[in-house]
Amino acid sequence: MTLNRRNLLKIGGAAAALPLLGTKAFAQSEPLKVGFMYIGTINDNGWNYAHNQGRLYLEEQLGDAVETTYVENVPEGPDSERVLRELAQSGHKLIFATSFGYGDYVIKVAEQFPDVTFEHATGYMRSANVGTYNARFHEGRAVCGTIAGHMSQTGKAGYIGSFPIPEVVMGINSFVLAARKINPDFTITPVYISTWNDPAKEADAARAMIDQGIDIIAQHTDGPAALQVAEERGIVGGFGQGADMSAFAPQAQLTSIIDNWGPHYVKTAQAVIDGTWESKDSWPGLAEGEVQIGPYGPKVPEDVIAAAEAVKNGQIDGSFNIFTGPINDHTGAEKVAAGVTLTDAELLSMDWYVEGVIPPA
């Protein structure tokens, strides 16, 4: 029997049916109820899917000590406030809100429920019982950019994004900085499509890129649509986003960046159980295993794999940082001096493009 929420509910139900037998035992080890709030569906193959995998990992690791619930398709707005209160009122003592736009409401509801711990993904506002967490996806982007620099024949990559938020800008910059270390003429063209999930539009964006000489496609939107076009057209390839997407593009997926939220969820839940949780910003990356590089595709030659692994390992042991100067902005003016590394705060508000990015209007 796999341990999932539905089974846990059954177990919970059985316990409730036998109050005389179980009261004491259950009272002592009452499970921590953990709630998750997702912006989309858990079946999106991307962002929400990855968070839900993290939730399942949490159940698997902590077993009876936790009991989890999720609410999906919660819009960023007053609806999220209602769901947060619903979760808090129904006994959830730890709540993960996994989209940026929930921020205002997390802070607001957290004030009303001081004994509940909240964690807000990709946010920046914290309070006594609100922590924030994110993952350094840009470290993975540097690995992808290294592969792109080696393998692209045209030296042109495209990047399908939803909105130009710092998270996305950081990823684009990291990618092209890495690629230009191999091919100094490498360029990347971001295309923002103003939506997180419109697969047909993503696919058309990929077609528009390929038809204009782009042979590597990276994306920051959920879902495998762009990779499937890359596969169909037989270009050099692209990268899985959030999860391994090789099932959709066995040839074209060069590698993937995997969001691995599980360890953070386990660590946080354990801290709440132990009473050691404190409000902080948690921003781990490759070193902590929260960002992982998936298997390399069949087209990636050995020497390129070695180069990619070197970049990955350099970031893991701290010897390499993609955002260490000299870095020029897209006009060619020096933005970061040699030897200087951008701080986390500077990264989190990044709104400028590095050299090699063809800036969108």
Partner 1 sequence: MMQFRLEKRREPSRFMLYATPVAAVALTMIIGAVIFSVIGYDGIGAVREIFLTPLTNSFKWQDLGVKAAPLIIIGVGLSIAYRANVWNIGAEGQYIMGGLAATWVALASHGAGGWWTLPAMMLAGMAGGAAYGAIPALLKTRLNVNEILTSLMLTYASVQLIYYLVRAPWKDPMGMGFPQTRRFASEALLPNIFPGTIVHAGVPIAIIVALIAWFIMSRSVFGYQMRVVGAAPHAARYGGFSENKTIWLAMLVSGGLAGLAGMLEVAGPFQRMVPGFPTNYGFTAIIVAFLGRLNPLGVIFAGIVMAITFVGGEVAQTTIGLSNSATGVFQAMMLFFLLAGDILVRYRLKRVVPQVEAGA
Partner 2 sequence: MTLELAIAIIVTVVGASTPILIAALGELVVEKSGVLNLGVEGMMLVGAITGFVVVFTTGNHYLAILLAAGAGVATSMIFGFLTLSLSANQTATGLALTIFGTGFSALAGQGYSARPVTLLGPLFPSELATHPIWRVLFGYSALVYFSFAMVLAVWWFLKKTRAGLILRAVGENDHSAHSIGYSVVAVRYGAVAFGGAMAGIAGACFPLLLTPQWAERMTAGRGWIAVALVVFASWKPFRLLAGAYLFGLVMTMELYAKAGGGPLSAIPAELWAAMPYLATVVVLVLISIRRDASSNAPACLGRPFLPSN
Give min distance, CB of 331 to partner 2, in A. Answer: 16
Tokens representing residue 82 in the block: 């209602």
Cα of first residue to Cα of last residue in the chain, in angstroms, is 54
Q: Residue 122's closest CA among 38, 65, 16?
A: 38
Tokens representing residue 142 in the block: 């540097």
Task: Pick the binder of partner 2 from 87, 218, 225, 350 (CB under 8 A).
Answer: 225
Sole residue written with tokens 């069949």: 298
Nearer to partner 2, 50 or 286 (CB): 50
- Any contact of residue 72 with partner 1 (CB under 8 A)? yes
- Any contact of residue 348 with partner 1 (CB under 8 A)? yes
Task: Please report, as a single letter, which amino acid is at residue 101.
Answer: G
Give min distance, CB of 53 to partner 1, in A. Answer: 17
Give min distance, CB of 159 to partner 2, in A. Answer: 10
- Residues 158-177 contacting partner 1, CB under 8 A: 163-166, 169
CA 113/CA 238 separation, integer angstroms: 44
If contact means CB under 5 to 8 A according to the sort of partner, which of partner 2, partner 1, none does residue 202 touch? Answer: partner 2
- Any contact of residue 283 with partner 1 (CB under 8 A)? no
Task: Pick the binder of partner 1 from 26, 65, 81, 330 (CB under 8 A).
Answer: 81
If contact means CB under 5 to 8 A according to the sort of partner, which of partner 2, partner 1, none does residue 57 touch? Answer: none
- Any contact of residue 200 with partner 2 (CB under 8 A)? yes
Give min distance, CB of 252 to partner 1, in A. Answer: 31
CA 81/CA 194 separation, integer angstroms: 24
- Any contact of residue 70 with partner 1 (CB under 8 A)? yes
- Phi first, then psi, for residue 94 (nearest 5°) are -140, 125
- Any contact of residue 3 with partner 1 (CB under 8 A)? no
CA 106/CA 102 separation, integer angstroms: 6
**Which residues are within 8 A (CB) of 175 and not within 5 positions of it... i.e. 6 or more apart?**
141, 142, 144, 145, 148, 157, 159, 188, 218
- Any contact of residue 87 with partner 1 (CB under 8 A)? yes
Select from 38-46, 123-131, 140-148, 321-329 the region that touches partner 2 (CB under 8 A): 38-46
Select from 50-58, 86-94, 241-249, 317-325 the region that touches partner 1 (CB under 8 A): 86-94
Nearer to partner 2, 53 or 173 (CB): 53
Buried b (16+ CB within 10 A) or exposed e, 128-151: ebbbbbbbbbbbbbbbbbbbbbbb
- Any contact of residue 127 with partner 1 (CB under 8 A)? no
Give min distance, CB of 80 to partner 1, in A. Answer: 9
Q: What angle do CA 347, 351, 357 make, to 5 degrees?
A: 100
Nearer to partner 2, 71 or 305 (CB): 71
CA 158/CA 176 separation, integer angstroms: 10
* Dihedral (CA of 163, 166, 172, 176) sign: positive
CA 165/CA 307 separation, integer angstroms: 29
Q: Residue 320's closest CA among 329, 307, 330?
A: 307
CA 284/CA 282 separation, integer angstroms: 6
- Any contact of residue 221 with partner 1 (CB under 8 A)? no
Task: Pick the binder of partner 1 from 73, 321, 331, 341 (CB under 8 A).
Answer: 73
Q: What angle do CA 152, 332, 344 make, to 5 degrees?
A: 85
Residue ranges binding partner 1 (CB under 8 A): 5-6, 9, 35, 41, 69-79, 81-83, 85-87, 89-90, 100-101, 104, 124, 163-166, 169, 194, 348-351
Enumerate binding residues for partner 2 (CB under 8 A): 40-41, 43-45, 49, 158, 189, 191-195, 197-205, 207-209, 211-212, 214, 223-225, 228-229, 232, 247-248, 358, 360-361
